[in-house]
Amino acid sequence: MKTPKNKNSIRDSVGFTQEELAMLLGVTRSMLAKFELGLGSLPNPAKLLLAELLKQVKDSEVKNKPLPHEATQPLITEKQLKR
């Protein structure tokens, strides 16, 4: 039975394949795989690159997220404004 992909994985957050992320970080695919499984570590330069990449993704998500009052307030239609 195939294990479902972890939807909260780093690669899902950044949208890269394992091969692409490994290349970007300057490590081997197998080193990244071991890191993802918690069986190994990444070199410090790769960790710094990964942290910066995740920060950019988070900043992008925050920018695109509606403000709390925008999310909870119903949209006012043109018809309602005319009343």
17-46 per-position pLDDT tens digit: 999 999 999 999 999 999 999 999 999 999
Across the chain, mean pLDDT equals 78
pLDDT in tens, 55-75: 988 887 666 656 555 555 555
All domains of the chain, ordered by start, with CATH? 10-82 (1.10.260)
Answer with the residue of higher pLDDT: 2 or 16. Answer: 16
Residue from 22, 3, 26, 2 nearest 11 by CA: 22
How many CA atoms are closer than 13 Å to the CA of 19, on its beta-carbon side? 0
- Inform me whether the pLDDT recorded for 77 exceeds 70: no
Q: Is the dihedral angle over the CA atoms 37, 41, 45, 51 positive or is it negative?
A: positive
